[in-house]
Amino acid sequence: MRVIPVLDLRAGRAVQARGGLRAAYSPAPSALAPGRPAGDAVALAQAYRRLGCDECYVADLDAIAGAPPQRALIRSLGGAGLRLLLDNGAADPARAGEAVADGVGPLRGRSARRAEAALARLPRAPEPLDVAEAVARFEAAFDGRFAA
């Protein structure tokens, strides 16, 4: 069985979801990171890696809500040795490109669907380039995997 842990990020901290009521989310306490403050996302990512996980689904709740993405924190999480599967609310190729530059694996959730739709809105290249080729190039940047 494969386990993919999840980190929900809000205001620089890993948060504990409470029935979808984001206003009630609070820093996530964890026995996996003793001595670390609740919500220490990097400590949790390191603990997941020590447990043998090689991937982690990360939801940047701030970015999904329209705020700037938490790029520095995302880069720090990648430094824990996990392949990150990110939902950062990417609605355009620039935001998706930032995620690639930050070392993130395939975009997930809304980010994948929005990035795919954004590709379709790109102006045509000076030389002929069809949408299928553009999507293939974009998918290649995400290791050829694109989740819906």
What pLDDT is attached to residue 148? 44
Element (H, E) at 7: strand 6-10
Q: Is 148 within the bounds of a domain?
A: no
The verdict on residue 1 lying in a domain is: no
CA distance linking residue 37 with residue 40, whole number of Å: 6
User: Over the stretch 56-75, which tens digit does the pLDDT of each residue have?
Assistant: 999 999 988 889 999 999 99
Residue 2, classed as helix, strand or coil, is: coil
CA distance 102 to 69: 11
Instruction: Answer whether residue 23 is part of any domain.
Output: yes
Q: What share of the chain is helix, strand, coil (3-state, %, to 5)?
A: 40, 15, 45
Q: The pTM is what?
A: 0.71
pLDDT digits (tens, 9 = 90+) for 71-128: 999 999 988 988 888 888 877 777 777 877 777 766 665 555 655 565 555 555 555 5
Instruction: Supply angle C-alpha 3, 90, 22, rounded to 5.
Output: 65
How many domains, the chain? Answer: 1
Q: Residue 15 is part of a domain; what is its CATH number?
A: 3.20.20.70
